[in-house]
């Protein structure tokens, strides 16, 4: 019989039971009459013999099949009635659960969107990221020529493509503006499986150097500049002064953001890049790749294949390719970066919050079961079995769970949206975070799951004394074991809350350490921005570009509010990196580039030190006289000095820079030593290339100098407000040339803040969860102490009648509460010491067992718990002995 | 619902199965038959009988049908299924073993 049939037969089977029992009764009555008993008496005796008809019916229902669904329905109705009857309890329980389930749903929806969902491309498992592995960089940039050889010589990829971030100034259609762009090889979009909304993608050959200039535009730009008009194909737009023909439009829902690729407004074939080093096999130009594995090829096979390919290149081009391999990683892994441990940590934290919420509600149910004990005793006396009552209680707790889950879901949707908007985090794939079937399933599962978890213990507990004790009114008899269970609950809550507090505490300490760290420069009142010169500067010679730079420097320095300015053409701390190779003068030239010494390269103006307030240790910094006509000079940081010159004085020593060889005799004199700055972020500096070298912008080779016509960056030290200054600078720039664009302005403090946004994100969330845990567990202990005092009003009354002072009562009650809190805190500390090791990777400057945190956190917990106990304890102090005694 | 009924529980199933082995019967009839055959020594409480019938029906050991009984009254008749017959034989064998073992002990000790 199917489930449904049984469901619909329910009514008739109920009827059948009644019929059958009535039949029995009549037969017994007839039998009694036959035995000579008068009719009325015969019926009375039959009924007596029969016993409680309702109880028999209940038993029969229970024994017959299809039973559970029917009772479920009546249990649900009954449960809803019970919930409506005590709205205070119901609201507190549902809110508590909503917080716990909501937090879990929110974090899970993030985990789901970011970690679990596949990339939105066909056969996403075939997609990998490609980089060159080099001695100093595990995933370094690929040179254009190496990429072409990889593409030609591999046997395991169906396609390979590269991209490079860039920006173009768009002129000739409205006010000049700077567009974010990607330089791409032809296959990039077709490899991903992206189809154009209009026109076509690039075809092979169009990405070669010297091919006709064409461009793909985003749906956004198409709408903004061309009103989504279909006749945009074949039109020409002016980028950096050159005409580019539009051949296609990228769909609006295209979304890819990796460490080396951003969704952009325009996409240009890489062959259009005006960079003299593009065809230099040894140059690291920030080019990274993606590829699609052939169907059935594993990533290991692809790696082995690429090993072979790169080995052959090393043999063919030892000078540039020695030590260079290929790094092949799943694209998804590449996109996620270090976010996975962070998300798992947060998921663990919200689980704790949920557990605390469960314990709290279990506690509430337990306390309430006292007042419901009579109800159950009556039901049991009327024939309800124990299993039946447990089912009833579980139905009620699951109802609570589902109600809490529903509310939690709304809470989660709201909180996730707000958090993603306001938290300063660069979460990859954040756009994919939202509700889907998996998140809903998760929420339903935990709602029902927690309903069972927090309902089971109170259900079992509250039924124990049902029959024996409760009916004869000595309600106090059953509370001994209940009391113990509640105490265990409080201990568990305190322990869980302490673990979360410790985690949050460690993150707070980490951020405090990071903020107090000296990055080697003073980020306050420093502003950085990019400037794209007028297209008319394109194709100018080095001399013109230098003149332009000097003029720009002079004009910006004269802008009101600007105290000092410097162009920065290469690396800039925490926002962009550039490296160069060198060897010491007097040593033989190393055979290959990768045998040379690497250093982070800063190409700057004389005022750079003043802008950044980096400390000069010895010698001098640059002067305006260190120009294209003067001998080549450099300033190094103390790390490079220590590493390559040891205790010798580096001033006056000479080095040879690979890309500066056209200057005089090819050597560069070291004229000064400055403090090391944190190039790679506040926390992760030490793991990366440390040596730093400064070169005067005016001494760059001609080939490098002309690149400035593509765009430059600058840093200024300012007085006043950043928005005001940037307005003034824009003004200055516009007066210089109306086609010149200032963009991408950021204060140095923002940049630093962004560099630790991951940790800020986890601190804010862990802090929120810990606060939630503290709140919930305080409510928990408050409830238990209140309950205990209620139970002991009589005892307290006697004590006071016998001369106990209010202070004694307070001590008694507080002592009772604090005992539990201390036990919980002790267990929590032990657990936190074990668990905090899991988050060691997120910490900086503090150990996972930081004594300060582990001393402070229990104090906070004890303080809050003390307060939570104090409120009911004060009520206990006010107990009037006479009233308390009169109760008996 | 006292301790003695619970002891009877397992035995009650056996008695019902045995009673139904002869012919189909309604609930009241079953109770009467057991009472008569045991010479009034065993009183079957309705509170135990009907739940036991529903339980046996759910287990598929007996089946129930509404039918007309003597003097044209509608009644629910229970009869043994094939599965029930097998179960009866098994339980009878178990009972034989148990009772002879108990008898042995009672005689010897």
β-strand partners of A742? A531
Side-chain-side CA neighbours of A853 within 13 Å: the count stands at 26
- The C-alpha torsion from A652 through A658 and A661 to A663, rounded to 10°, is -50
Is A23 touching B (CB cutoff 8 A)? yes
CB atoms closer than 10 angstroms to residue A43: 18
* Domain co-membership, A729 together with A871: no
Q: Are the beta carbons of B73 and A19 separated by less than 8 Å?
A: no
Evaluate if residue B36 carries a pLDDT over 60: yes
Q: Are the beta carbons of B76 and A20 separated by less than 8 Å?
A: yes
The predicted structure's pLDDT at residue A214:
95
Q: What is the pLDDT of residues A29-52, one digit of tens each?
A: 888 888 888 888 888 888 777 767
* Domain co-membership, A178 together with A315: yes
Query: How far is residue A761's CA from residue A585's CA, in Å, rounded to a whole number?
Result: 47
* Domain co-membership, A167 together with A297: yes
Query: How far is residue A573's CA from residue A676's CA, in Å, rounded to a whole number?
Result: 11
Q: Are the beta carbons of B58 and A63 separated by less than 8 Å?
A: yes
Q: Which among B27, B32, B55 is the nearest to A20, CB-wise?
A: B27
Q: Which among B26, B50, B74 is the nearest to A60, CB-wise?
A: B50
Q: Are the beta carbons of B55 and A63 separated by less than 8 Å?
A: yes
* Domain co-membership, A731 together with A765: no
Asked if A383 and A59 count as a contact pair (C-beta separation under 8 A), the reply is yes
Q: Where are the beta strands (DSSP E) in chain B?
A: 25-26, 62-68, 74-80
Give the residues of chain A that fall short of pLDDT 50: 1-3, 6-12, 466-478, 661
What would you report as the CA-atom Rg of chain A, rounded to the nearest whole angstrom? 38
The predicted structure's pLDDT at residue A426:
62
Reading the block at residue A644, the tokens are 């390559």
**Structural domains of chain B ordered from first start:** 3-108 (1.10.10.10)
- The C-alpha torsion from A150 through A156 and A161 to A164, rounded to 10°, is -60
**pLDDT tier at B3 (50, 70, 90 boundaries)?**
very low
To test the contact with chain B by mutation, choose from A25, A60, A62, A70 the residue with the greatest count of B C-beta atoms within 10 A, namely: A60
Q: What DSSP line would sit under B66-92, residue for residue?
A: EEE-GGG-EEEEEEE-HHHHHHHHHHH
Q: Which of A713, A739, A765 is the last residue of a domain?
A: A739
* Domain co-membership, A647 together with A791: no
Reading the block at residue A849, the tokens are 């067992």
* Domain co-membership, A512 together with A576: no
Q: Is residue A122 part of a domain?
A: no
Asked if A847 and A518 count as a contact pair (C-beta separation under 8 A), the reply is no
Q: Is residue A448 part of a domain?
A: yes
Q: Are the beta carbons of B28 and A49 separated by less than 8 Å?
A: no
A298 Cβ partners below 8 Å, 6+ apart? none
* Domain co-membership, A458 together with A555: no
What would you report as the CA-atom Rg of chain B, rounded to the nearest whole angstrom? 15
Q: Are the beta carbons of B74 and A60 separated by less than 8 Å?
A: no
* Domain co-membership, A685 together with A769: no
* Domain co-membership, A706 together with A800: no
Q: What is the pLDDT of residues A316-370, one digit of tens each?
A: 998 888 889 999 999 988 888 777 888 888 888 999 999 999 888 888 888 777 6
DSSP label of A623:
-
Reading the block at residue B77, the tokens are 């008749």
CA distance, residue A475 to nearest chain B CA (Å): 24
Domain range for A637 is: 534-739
Query: By three-state DSSP, how is residue A55 classified?
Result: helix
Q: Is residue A112 part of a domain?
A: no
Is A65 touching B (CB cutoff 8 A)? yes
Reading the block at residue A851, the tokens are 């004594």
Asked if A139 and A133 count as a contact pair (C-beta separation under 8 A), the reply is yes
Query: By three-state DSSP, how is residue A546 classified?
Result: helix
Is B33 touching A (CB cutoff 8 A)? no
Q: Which among B28, B53, B55 is the nearest to A27, CB-wise?
A: B28
**pLDDT tier at B108 (50, 70, 90 boundaries)?**
confident
Q: What DSSP line would sit under A768-801, residue for residue?
A: HHHHHHHHHHHHHHHHHHHHHHHHHHHHHHHHHH
- CA angle centred on A239, ends A234 and A240, rounded to 5°: 155
CA distance, residue B65 to nearest chain A CA (Å): 11
Count up the domains in chain A and report the number.
4
Q: Is residue A841 part of a domain?
A: yes
* Domain co-membership, A658 together with A790: no
Q: Is residue A118 part of a domain?
A: no
In chain A, the residue whose alpha carbon lies closest to the alpha carbon of B57 is: A64
* Domain co-membership, A791 together with A702: no
Its pTM stands at: 0.70
The predicted structure's pLDDT at residue A8:
47
> Closest Cα partner for A453 from A350, A367, A357, A389?
A357
Q: At A149, which helix (H) or strand (E)?
A: helix A144-153
Q: Is residue A89 part of a domain?
A: no
A84 Cβ partners below 8 Å, 6+ apart? A90
* Domain co-membership, A175 together with A211: yes
In terms of Cβ atoms closer than 10 Å to its own Cβ (0-12, 13-18, 19+), residue A848 is: buried
Q: What is the pLDDT of residues A842-865, one digit of tens each?
A: 888 888 889 999 999 999 999 998
Q: Is residue A217 part of a domain?
A: yes
Q: Is residue A106 part of a domain?
A: no
Evaluate if residue B65 carries a pLDDT over 90: no
Mean pLDDT in residue range B58-63: 86
Report residue A3 CA to chain centroid gap: 45
> Closest Cα partner for A788 from A817, A809, A808?
A817
In chain B, the residue whose alpha carbon lies closest to the alpha carbon of A380 is: B1
Query: How far is residue A614's CA from residue A617's CA, in Å, rounded to a whole number?
Result: 9
To test the contact with chain A by mutation, choose from B3, B13, B28, B30 the residue with the greatest count of A C-beta atoms within 10 A, namely: B28
């Amino acid at each position: 019989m199917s489930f449904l049939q049984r469901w619909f037969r329910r009514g008739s089977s109920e009827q059948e039971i009644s019929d059958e029992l009535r039949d029995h009764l009549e037969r017994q009555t007839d039998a009694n009459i036959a035995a000579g008993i008068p009719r009325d008496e015969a019926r009375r005796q039959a009924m007596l013999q029969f016993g409680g008809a309702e109880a028999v019916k209940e038993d029969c229902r229970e024994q017959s099949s299809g039973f559970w669904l029917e009772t479920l329905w009546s249990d649900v109705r009954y449960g809803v009635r019970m919930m409506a009857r005590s709205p205070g309890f119901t609201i507190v329980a549902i809110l508590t659960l909503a917080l716990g389930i909501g937090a879990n749903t929110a974090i899970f929806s993030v985990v789901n969107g970011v970690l679990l969902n596949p990339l939105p491309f066909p056969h996403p498992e075939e997609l990998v990221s490609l980089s060159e592995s080099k001695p100093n960089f595990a995933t370094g940039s690929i040179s254009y020529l190496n990429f072409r050889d990889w593409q030609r010589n591999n046997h395991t990829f169906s396609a390979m493509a590269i991209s490079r971030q860039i920006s173009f100034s768009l002129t000739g259609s409205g006010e000049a503006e700077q567009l974010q762009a990607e330089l791409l090889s032809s296959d990039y979009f077709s490899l991903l499986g992206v189809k154009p909304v209009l026109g076509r993608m690039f075809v092979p050959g169009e990405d070669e150097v010297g091919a006709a200039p064409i461009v793909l535009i985003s749906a956004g730009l198409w709408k903004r500049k061309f009103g989504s008009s279909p006749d945009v194909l074949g039109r020409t737009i002016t980028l950096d002064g050159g005409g580019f023909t539009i051949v296609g439009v990228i769909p609006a829902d295209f979304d890819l953001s990796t460490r080396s690729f951003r969704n952009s407004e325009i996409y240009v074939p890489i062959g259009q890049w005006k960079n003299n080093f593009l065809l230099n096999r040894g140059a690291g130009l920030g080019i990274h790749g993606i590829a699609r594995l052939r169907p059935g090829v594993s990533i290991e096979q692809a790696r082995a294949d690429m090993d072979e390919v790169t080995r052959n290149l090393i043999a063919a081009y030892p000078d540039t390719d020695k030590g260079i391999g290929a790094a092949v990683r799943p694209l998804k892994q590449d996109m996620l970066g270090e976010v996975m441990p962070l998300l798992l940590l947060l998921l663990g934290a919200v689980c704790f919050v949920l557990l605390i919420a469960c314990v709290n509600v279990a506690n509430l149910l337990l306390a309430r079961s006292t007042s419901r004990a009579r109800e159950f005793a009556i039901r049991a006396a009327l024939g309800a079995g124990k299993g039946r009552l447990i089912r009833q209680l579980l139905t009620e707790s699951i109802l609570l769970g589902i109600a809490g889950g529903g509310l939690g879901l709304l809470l989660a949707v709201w909180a996730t949206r707000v958090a993603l908007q306001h938290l300063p985090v660069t979460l990859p794939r954040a756009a994919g975070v939202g509700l889907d079937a998996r998140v809903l399933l998760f929420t339903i599962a935990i709602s029902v799951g927690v309903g069972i978890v927090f309902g089971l213990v109170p259900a079992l507990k509250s039924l124990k004394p049902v029959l024996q004790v409760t009916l004869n009114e000595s309600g106090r008899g059953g509370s001994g074991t209940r009391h113990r269970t509640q105490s265990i609950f409080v201990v568990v809550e305190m322990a869980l809350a302490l673990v979360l507090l410790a985690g949050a505490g460690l993150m707070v300490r980490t951020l405090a350490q990071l903020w107090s760290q000296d990055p080697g420069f003073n980020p306050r009142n420093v502003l950085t921005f990019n400037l794209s010169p007028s297209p008319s500067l394109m194709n100018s010679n080095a001399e013109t570009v230098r003149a332009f730079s000097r003029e720009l420097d002079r004009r910006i320095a004269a802008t009101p509010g600007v105290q000092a300015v410097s162009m920065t053409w290469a690396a800039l701390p925490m926002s962009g990196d550039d490296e160069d190779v060198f060897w010491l003068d007097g040593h033989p030239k190393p055979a290959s580039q990768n045998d040379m010494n690497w250093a982070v390269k800063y190409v700057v103006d004389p005022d750079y030190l003043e802008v950044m307030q980096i400390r000069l240790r010895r010698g001098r910094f640059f002067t305006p006289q260190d120009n294209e006509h003067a001998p080549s000079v450099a300033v190094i940081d103390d790390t490079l000095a220590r590493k390559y010159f040891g205790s010798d004085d580096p001033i006056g020593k000479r080095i040879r820079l690979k890309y500066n060889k056209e200057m005089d005799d090819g050597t560069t004199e070291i004229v000064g030593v400055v403090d090391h700055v944190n190039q790679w972020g506040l926390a992760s500096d030490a793991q990366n290339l440390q040596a730093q070298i400064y070169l005067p912008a005016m001494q760059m080779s001609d080939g490098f100098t002309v690149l400035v016509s593509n765009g430059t960056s600058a840093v200024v030290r300012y007085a006043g407000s950043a928005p005001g200054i940037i307005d003034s600078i824009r003004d200055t720039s516009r007066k210089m040339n109306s086609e010149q664009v200032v963009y991408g302005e950021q204060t140095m403090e923002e940049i630093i803040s962004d560099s630790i946004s991951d940790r800020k994100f986890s601190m804010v969330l862990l802090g929120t969860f810990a606060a939630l845990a503290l709140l919930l567990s305080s409510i928990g202990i408050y409830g238990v102490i209140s309950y205990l005092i209620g139970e002991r009003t009589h005892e307290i009354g006697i004590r006071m009648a016998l001369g106990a002072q209010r202070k004694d009562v307070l001590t008694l009650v507080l002592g009772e509460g604090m005992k539990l809190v201390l036990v919980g805190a002790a267990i929590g500390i032990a657990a936190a010491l074990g668990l905090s090791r899991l988050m060691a990777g997120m910490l900086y400057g503090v150990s996972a067992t930081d004594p300060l945190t582990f001393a402070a956190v229990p104090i906070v917990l004890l303080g809050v718990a003390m307060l939570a106990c104090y409120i009911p304890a004060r009520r206990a102090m006010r107990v009037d002995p006479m009233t308390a005694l009169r109760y008996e | 619902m006292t301790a003695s009924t619970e002891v009877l529980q397992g035995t009650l199933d056996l008695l019902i199965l045995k009673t139904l082995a002869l012919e189909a019967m309604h609930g009241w009839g079953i109770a009467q038959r057991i009472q008569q055959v045991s010479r009034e020594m065993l009183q079957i409480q309705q509170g135990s009988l009907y739940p036991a019938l529903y339980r046996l029906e759910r287990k598929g050991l007996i089946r129930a049908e509404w039918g007309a009984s003597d003097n044209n009254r509608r009644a629910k008749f229970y009869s043994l299924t094939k599965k029930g017959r097998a179960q009866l034989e098994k339980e009878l064998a178990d009972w034989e073993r148990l009772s002879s073992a108990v008898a042995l002990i009672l005689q010897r000790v």
